[in-house]
Amino acid sequence: MSADLAYSILRQLGREKRSDDRLSITGSGDPIFVTPWRIGQAGSAALGAVGLAISDLWRLKTGMPQSVSVDTHAAAASLRSNTYVLRNGEKPVSWDPLTGHYPTRDGRHMFIHTNHPHHRAGALRIAGAKDDTREALAEAVAQWEGLAIEEAIAEGGCVGGLTRSREEWNAHPHGIAISKLPLIDIVKIGEAPARPLPQGDRPLSGVRAFDLTRVLAGPTSGRVLAENGADVLHVAAPHLPYQSELLMDTGHGKRCAWIDLLTPAGVETMKVLLREADIFTQGYRPGTLAGRGFSPEQVAALKPGIVCVSLCAYGHEGPWASRRGFDSIVQNVTGLAATQGSLDKPRNMPVQALDYIAGYLGALGAMVALARRVEQGGSWLVRVSLVQVAHWLANLGTVDATKGVAELPDGDLLPLLTESVGPLGRLRHLKPVVQLGTTPAYFARPAEPLGSSSAQWSS
């Protein structure tokens, strides 16, 4: 069933099943964890599609495909992989204590995200909290109508969302707009001659990926590219907030550099790097980078033949396209959290499926577009959003959540883990999930702090 779903994802990108494909998805089905949503099926299907895209690139290099296998339990665990990270034996702290659900005056629930300092300060100010505490924020939110505070938070440039039922979301103007979009799409944005993949002993050897993303979805996409041989340069700016503990999950195999786009020198550095890049992945709202000269079309003019990947919260169409959001917010507005719990007691899923699956799809789209560049030429734009993943996941239907487990038993979990030692210390983390028959995935370098490397390509 998951294998069929993997092929349905690939068909959206014009890739049909081949006679020499060797895809195996093993392990028991959903529920795996305590959630009614089919996260095991969804995760293994997305990763199965990723594996086939890797096999296709290897076929283009060598003329030979390779076998692909995905374990459903490993795929499900990967949708919460940041929770398995230990640094020197201790679990990093990643959630601000103010983040969570807050009842409103009209009996609804507002989920407010405060993990970035400016979002925390903004939420407290907009709500009218008298103090910087969860109790004060709850008291303030309780004075608001739900729709009113949702709109005020959005208008104030902060992040939150009202918990809705699936029915309410499906009738919402943005829900209607998203229902018309595919899970993932690739569009041609420029002309360029066909060009072969770089030489090397891994599927993405010699491929340069510029990773301008934060939090989970975008960095996960870059991690998938890195584990298959790409030279991934993860770029951040010193003045922007970043949950650096997430690098212990998503930073493996990458180098991390500073570039400040508020300065002319930073803009020029980025242009120089993009002229030598194969993939440009960005995780900002649609249109955000255009004013800096880095819209997909502008980047394709800089480097004909580049693959641009856009990952965002709410998609590129509809009234909320420019709204800020994270996995936890999108779970609430789309009805996933109400189904996980109830409208009276909403609960987020025990996994961040939207983030991680969007990341896998971003990597998938990048690799499918690279294959198109080999065969057809052109510059390409891949578009993925958290809300499109939510729509797709919801359409897979539900199962009896009570048959799931809070955590995988050690016998299942421990074989999925590995350790690496580097600038961030001794890290325990998940291994790559997709198993490849000829070119096993691995991380060529340990994760490193932001700004550790120079802003240049290593090869």
Q: Is residue 146, in this structure, part of any structural domain at all? A: yes
pLDDT tens for residues 23-61? 999 998 999 999 999 999 999 999 999 999 999 999 999
Q: Is residue 174, in this structure, part of any structural domain at all? A: yes
pLDDT in the model for residue 232 = 98
How far the first Cα of the chain sits from its last, in Å, is 41
pLDDT band at 285 (very low <50, low <70, confident <90, very high): confident
Whole-angstrom CA distances from 169 to 3, 161, 165, 175, 442 are: 29, 12, 6, 6, 40
pLDDT in the model for residue 400 = 97
Write down the mean pLDDT value for the chain. Answer: 96
pLDDT tens for residues 394-433? 999 999 999 999 999 999 999 999 999 999 999 999 999 9
Q: Is residue 275, in this structure, part of any structural domain at all? A: no
User: What is the share, in percent, of the chain residues with pLDDT greater than 70?
Assistant: 100
Q: Is residue 330, in this structure, part of any structural domain at all? A: no
| Contact (Cβ atoms closer than 8 angstroms) between residue 336 and residue 394 | yes
pLDDT tens for residues 176-235? 999 999 999 999 999 999 999 999 999 999 999 999 998 899 999 999 999 999 999 999
428 CB-side CA count, 13 A: 15
pLDDT band at 244 (very low <50, low <70, confident <90, very high): confident
pLDDT at 290 over 90: no
Q: Is residue 244, in this structure, part of any structural domain at all? A: no
- CATH of residue 104's domain is 3.30.1540
pLDDT in the model for residue 241 = 78
Q: Is residue 119, in this structure, part of any structural domain at all? A: yes
CA 302, CA 390: separation in Å to the nearest integer? 34
Q: Is residue 417, in this structure, part of any structural domain at all? A: no
Q: Is residue 268, in this structure, part of any structural domain at all? A: no
Pairing, β 279-282 against β 307-312: parallel
pLDDT band at 70 (very low <50, low <70, confident <90, very high): very high
pLDDT tens for residues 339-391? 999 999 999 999 999 999 999 999 999 999 999 999 999 999 999 999 999 99
CA 211, CA 208: separation in Å to the nearest integer? 10
Vertex 53 angle, CA 48 and 59, to 5°: 125
Counting the structural domains of the chain, the total is: 1
Please give the residue range of the domain that contains residue 165.
100-178
